[in-house]
Structure 1
Amino acid sequence: MSFPQFAFNNVRRNARAYIAYFLSSAFMVMVFFAYSVFIYHPEIANNDMGPRAATSMQVAAYIVYVFAFFFVLYSISSFLKSRNLEFGILSILGARPGQINKLVFLENMLIGISAIVTGIAGGMLLSKLFLLLSTRTIGIEDLPFYWPIKAMLVTSISFLALFLVISIFTLLFIRKNKVLELLQGNAKPKKQPKASILLSLFGAVLLAVGYFAIRVELTPQSIIIAAVTGIAGTYFFYSQLSVLFIRLLQRNRRTTWRGTRLLWVSEMSYKLRDNSRMLFLITVVTALASMGAGVVLSINQAGRELYTNNPFAITNTYYDTSSVEPDRSVIYHELDAAGVDYTETRIDTLSGSALAGGDQSNYLPLMSLPQYNQLAPLLGLPAGNTLGLNEAILILTKENKSSDYIQNHMITLKEQPAVSLAVKKNIRTDSLGFQSATALLIVPEQWMETLRVAKSAELGHEVQPAVQYLYDVPAWNTGSLPTPSSPESIAGAKLSKWNDDMSGNSGDDFYLESRANNYILLKQSTAMLSFVSIFVALIFSVSSASFLYFKLNSELATDIRMYRALSKIGLSTSEMSAAATKQIAILFYIPIVVSAIQSLVVISPILTEAGIKNIIEPVLITFAAYLILQSLFFLIAKSRYISSLKKMMV
């Protein structure tokens, strides 16, 4: 038998141990190849969204490649540690260190090349489906199938180099132990796991620092501090805090010494310590992927709310108005061409600032009461009654607090500090729709002129209110979301293009906004990110399950000896199954729970700062998907693991 045949037989006979690692590697190759098929498609440059989508997928491909490097490196180093007994036997039979190195190199390359071939073959079978899904999700024209020669070459060379470098690098992991130590393999008795109280407290302090750093003030520095302390604290949580908790639990005899509880609780202290690095890695990777998915879902949901809460299909704002009526014939033409009835409403607003104590002030636009009463029915707001000279109505959205503007039931404007306005009514609404401001002050008409004169005197030139023309199209207010081919989206895209073309080329300072066009652009961006992140998250999930499966398989021989000995003194098969299931469930689900908590802690203040309030639901949706996928892997791993144990029970 030749040396390559010997390496091939080693891989074939250890198929149960290698299968999860092989399939995970092949899946990463397949996803990388699928991204490459899209990136190097010859017609991608002909689509408006094509180059942006290709760039996003290129970034995703880099993420997959970097993660594949660390995944393969960690997996191979773990495989080598589990093969000490085999290396010891080969050394007794006369194998030199160089020959063992050659054997390991050939085995790694054999698995790597097989994973590359399998991944590209699977990618070729699914490439048409991938192109179809990607184009439909992103919202661009369908891309036809082609023979992706360049994608095949890039994928093959990239992963061949990856497996080659790691195969050479991992030879350093083969420790030059004595033969006796190698022969003992993993059968050496384990020391009782111990946790340092100081390190446990240090880990708890790191987690607390990370929590308060991102909660007190959101800055780039606080985010970096929260990330560093949170990641470090997570490691100490698994390596120290969790072990300390198990040790304390074991001391409580009333809780622990019942049935088989002592068995699996005691065993968990060993498994948590032995798998602390792996659980730490899975938690960090899952948290990062889930944060990205949660942010995308939150932004997408916020975009839907912005569309549904805005009753006006088109908003045209003129910032520097004059006595000449602005030309709006292009808007009329597009709406008439769409064959819809519409109403045009004009409103005038003046920018102001409400004093909020000290030198602080918050932006607060003003509108006259007559114009508000004209606008209120369209916004679904109550009409205002008559106002006294120094009275006002404050309209707030859910993003703001009344204390940001009202002090002692009064509002004092920075532009007119001598006179304060009494707040007669405080109205809450989900969104003002026609403007990005989160609050609006309704004042008597004479107050608008008073403030305009005051601002003109302060700035040294004539100040005019900003004029907005709002277009309500009943036929488009159906409650359903627009599609790229809907009449509203087509008209909105044309008007938005006209606005971009006229920007800077017209004497008027204006800005046109289409709610449908804004929604479609946001949806395309989030859809592209969602599509990319789905496959990246799948890789993380599959790889995490592969890590756990391998660790269970590597510890199987030790667990078989333990459960076989326990079965001789009366442990039943059902009791063994229950104890083993609880241990496996903790290993599979504790990273999901910890990463879910971390994701909520981190993205909650970030999205709140961005004005997105609905945070918990997208995060829960993301982790529900992870939970379902992880449960599937858990059932597969549990059934195979317990099936192997049952065969050895007395």
Structure 2
Amino acid sequence: MNFFSMAVKNIQRKLDTYLTYFLSAAFAVTIFFIFCSIYYNPEFADFHTGVSKIGIIFKISSVVVLLFSGVFVYYANSLFIKSRKKEIAIYSLLGMRKKEIGQLLFLETLLVGVGSIISGILLGSLFTRFFSMILKKLMLGGAPGNDIAFHLTWQPVVVSIVVFLILFILNALYSLKTVFGSKLIDLLSAEKEGETAPKFSVVLSVLSILMIFVSYLVFLNFNGDDGAMKLIGPAIFACVLLATGTYLLFQNIVIWLLSKCKKNIRFYYKTGNFISTSQNVYRIKANSNIFCVIALLSAFTVTVMSAAISFYLTLGNSMPIYAPYSYLCENLNEVATKQVLQTVSEDDTVKLHAVTDLNVLSTSASLEGYKVDTNNAYEKTTTQVGEDLTIDIIKFSDYKKVVEDTEAIESKGNKGALFVSELTKGECLFLDGNYGHDYSEHITGNNIQVKTDGGITAFKIVDVSLFKYIGAAHARTTLVLEDSDYERYFALKDSYKICHYIGLKFDNPLEVSTLFDKLNTIVATKNHDKSYLEYHQILFNMYGAYIFIGMFLGILFLMAAGSIIFYKQLMEARDDMGRYEILRKIGMTEKEMLKSVRRQIAIVFLLPFMVAMMHTVVILKTYQNMVYTLTTDSPILVYALLVVAIYFIIYGLFYLFSVKGYMKTVWNKSTVS
């Protein structure tokens, strides 16, 4: 029998152990292949540039999949090698040289790797078009579009084979290193490693709680208005604290809790509790690295999937906030205005809901305790607290028509002033140009000093809102004045800069792309804002790709998390065969053993899951606080509960597989012996 035949027989003999590892590795190859196929698909070439830049997104995601797969495959392979050290020692005792043993293990690892690569590419080829269609549907967000044609190019196949073959060859070389770097006595005693009595530190226990608590505080104090650059430092600091605190938690507090359980005589000396608690107490410290990784991985997975689903499903409701008008023109001359309206009236495909004619006048003002800090469509506007600022002025009747024509809805960012029914002389509504309430939260009732025809005039602020009445891109601080005040104080129109807007509201803005093309030939680029359809395409192209990738990575991380615990339990089951054989001989029944194994493995699965859920609640709350202020309120907790339920079901299946595999090892093999 040659080495190849021996390697094949070994894989067949250990098929139950290799199967989950093989499936997880094949799944990683499948995802990587699908990502590469989408990147190289010519139908997505137009999205590689522009705001969405899904080419970059898929490149980064492919690298993440590859790196994660590398760590996962390395870890799973190292567990296999550790579990087979005694087998390697027996090979050596039977006369096989280290070189021959190394070749055998090298071939086994490579065969499983090649099988995973082939299976992954075949599965990827079968499902690439299906998932490409899902991606395009997500990116269209309900807008009309063509189906995806099937494109199978050579690049994804070659890239997948090369990168994963290198990955598996490196792991095969690790197997060789283990064989050549180990002594026979070490290989024979490998199963007895890591069984020393665990100790915990009170100081480190307190430190772990403090680190997690501080990280939570940092996360919960994130402010989306600060911008990404300002949050990078605190985010890294909080993540390091959270990861370190979680590791120390499993290293110390969990051991302390299990030790307390041992001291509880009524609890501990029950048959099932006695065995499961003892086993976990001695192994918890050795497993703390795994528990920490699983907890953080699970928290990340649930958070990303919940946030992605929540944001995407509420994005459609948020579109009127970005583009309240289907098409918005600025400062058109009379001829162009007539051409626009005539073109719209002649188009049979469009249903015109409303036309708004709006004049916005600009002047200067000052308000104690207020500043503008906004990047908007015109320029970067920044003032210091209390100093003069440029402010827009509109009439109350025009404002009410805008609200009526755009069918504005009350949401997180436009409560209050949006639905005020009347204004009296000397009063105003204050529409804050910022994206947060930091500078306008306490100004209701204050007077704002405005430059008018007659000098400086004070107006009383009766209500405040973040409502961006002509779109989120036009983030300009605006005062809404009673009509007679507007005509009285701003009669000299030539003294001010005035922008004249014409807003068109269609009932079917996603189905009139041809009309938009016609209008763009009439209206110069500088005289029109992005249409509703353009905003829709930008946002859904970008976030559709995000949710697609988030779901795939979430499933991959879940598979890896469950697989890691599953492998670890199978390895520990082999170590425990002797102990359970003794228990069987002194009268322990299969039912009692199953009960004990269930409890033992339940602790292993539940500990990281519970910590992960604790982290998830805080991070989801942080996300909810960070979501763009103007978006509609998102029921993120509902989506999070749905994701957690699905996650728990799949996680539970890994638990059941682990119990079954553990029992098959410790009971069936012990009864045979």
The question of a shared fold, defined as TM-score above 0.5 by the shorter chain, is answered with: yes
Q: Is 2:121 the partner of 1:111?
A: no
1:385 corresponds to 2:422:
yes
CA distance in 1 between counterparts of 2:547 and 2:163 reads 25
1:641 aligns with 2:641: no
Post-superposition CA distance 1:7-39 (Å, at most 9, x none) = 332222222222211221122222222333333
SS at match of 2:163: helix
Question: 2 CA distance for matches of 1:342 and 1:229?
Answer: 54
Specify the SS of the correspondent of 1:274.
Answer: coil
- Pick closer, same or farther for the CA change 1:216–1:524 going to 2, 3 Å: closer
Q: Distance in 1 between matches of 2:653 and 2:306?
A: 22
Partner of 1:340: 351
Structure 2 SS opposite 1:346: strand
**Aligned residues of 1:397 and 1:428 also touching (Cα < 8 A):** no
- Which of 480, 491, 497 lines up with 1:442 in the alignment? 480
Tell me the alpha carbon deviations over residues 73-105 of structure 1, each in whole angstroms, 9 at most, x when there is no partner. 111112111112112212222333333332322
Amino acid at match of 1:327: T
Q: How many residue pairs are counted as aligned between the two chains? A: 624
Matched position secondary structure for 2:95: coil
Tell me by how many angstroms 1:62 deviates.
2.0
Is residue 368 from structure 1 mapped to residue 395 from structure 2 by the alignment?
yes
Alignment of 1:141-220 (within 5 A): 141-174=146-179, 176-187=181-192, 190-218=195-223, 219-220=231-232
Task: Report percent identity of matched pairs.
Answer: 21
Question: Counterpart amino acid of 2:562?
Answer: A
> Where does structure 2 lack aligned partners over 5 or more consecutive residues?
224-230, 372-383, 410-417
SS in structure 2 at match of 1:469? strand
Q: Please give the root-mean-square deviation of Cα atoms over the aligned residues, in Å.
A: 4.0
Query: 1:484-503 counterparts in 2 under 5 A?
Result: 487-491=508-512, 494-495=515-516
Unaligned 5+ segments in structure 1 are 477-486
Matching residue of 2:369: 356
Alignment correspondent of 1:404:
440
Query: 1:225 Cα deviation (Å)?
Result: 0.9
Deviations for 1:210-261, whole angstroms, at most 9, x for unmatched residues?
2233334552211121122222222222233322332234334466556633
C-alpha deviation, 1:597, in angstroms: 3.4
C-alpha distance in 2 between matches for 1:542 and 1:449: 67
Instruction: Work out whether residues 283 and 591 of structure 1, in 8 Å CA contact, stay in contact via their aligned partners in 2.
Output: yes
Does the CA contact (< 8 Å) of 1:87 and 1:100 recur in 2? yes
Verify the 8 A CA contact 1:354 1:405 in the aligned structure 2.
no
RCO comparison, higher one (Cα < 8 Å, 6+): 2
* Structure-2 change in CA distance of 1:204 and 1:496 (3 Å): farther
Task: Give the Cα separation in 1 of the matches to 2:267 and 2:605.
Answer: 24
Q: Which residue of 1 aligns with 2:228?
A: none
Asked if structure 2 preserves the Cα contact closer than 8 Å seen for 1:80 and 1:174, the reply is: no
Query: Which of 630-639 and 11-20 deviates more?
Result: 630-639
* C-alpha displacement of 1:186: 1.2
- Say whether the 8 Å CA contact 1:453–1:463 is kept in structure 2: no
Paired amino acid for 1:183: L
Contact kept? 1:307, 1:519, Cα under 8 Å: yes
Q: Which residue, out of 551, 558, 562, partners 1:541?
A: 558
Report the counterpart of residue 129 of structure 1 in structure 2.
Answer: 130
The letter of the residue matching 1:347 is L
SS of 1:345's equivalent?
Answer: strand
Against the structure 1 CA distance between its residues 522 and 188, is the aligned structure 2 distance closer, same or farther, given a 3 Å change threshold? closer
Counterpart in the other structure of 1:480: none
Counterpart for residue 85 of structure 1: 86
1:463 aligns with 2:514: no
Per the alignment, residue 479 of structure 1 pairs with: none
SS at match of 1:171: helix
1:2 lines up with 2:2 in the alignment: yes
Answer with 56-65 or 15-24: which moved more: 56-65
- For 1:114 and 1:558, how far apart are their aligned partners in 2? 29
Distance 2:649 2:510 in 1: 36
- TM (norm. structure 2) is 0.80
In structure 1, distance between residues paired with 2:437 and 2:666: 61
Where do 1:216-615 residues align within 5 Å? 216-218=221-223, 219-253=231-265, 260-307=272-319, 312-316=324-328, 318=330, 327=337, 329-330=339-340, 332-334=342-344, 336-337=346-347, 338-350=349-361, 354-356=367-369, 360=385, 366-378=393-405, 379=408, 382=419, 384-389=421-426, 391-393=427-429, 404-407=440-443, 409-413=445-449, 420-424=458-462, 426=463, 434-436=470-472, 437=475, 441-445=479-483, 447-448=485-486, 462-473=495-506, 476=507, 487-491=508-512, 494-495=515-516, 510-568=527-585, 571-602=588-619, 604-606=621-623, 608-609=625-626, 610-611=628-629, 614=634, 615=636
Cα 1:220–1:441, aligned 2, differ >3 Å: closer, same or farther?
same
Flag the 1:463–1:257 CA change in 2: closer, same or farther, 3 A: farther
In structure 1, C-alpha distance between the alignment counterparts of 2:329 and 2:513, rounded to whole Å: 15
> Structure 2: how far apart are the matches of 1:402 and 1:542?
43
Name the counterpart of 2:25.
25
In the TM superposition, residue 411 of structure 1 has moved relative to its aligned partner by: 4.1
SS for the counterpart of 2:284 is helix
Give the counterpart letter for 1:444 in structure 2: E
Cα distance in 1 for residues equivalent to 2:106 and 2:262? 44
In the TM superposition, what is the alpha-carbon distance from 1:322 to its structure 2 partner? Answer: 9.2
- Specify the code of the residue in structure 1 equivalent to 2:155: K
Q: Which amino acid aligns with 1:244?
A: W
- For residues 326 and 561 of structure 1, the distance between their equivalents in structure 2, rounded to whole angstroms, comes to 89
Q: Does structure 2 retain, via aligned residues, the 8 Å contact 1:376–1:383? A: no
**Separation (CA, whole Å) in 2 of partners of 1:141 and 1:76:** 44
After superposing the two structures, state which structure 1 stretch, 199-208 or 143-152, moved more: 143-152
Alignment CA distance shift 1:101-1:414 (3 Å)? farther
1:63 is aligned to 64
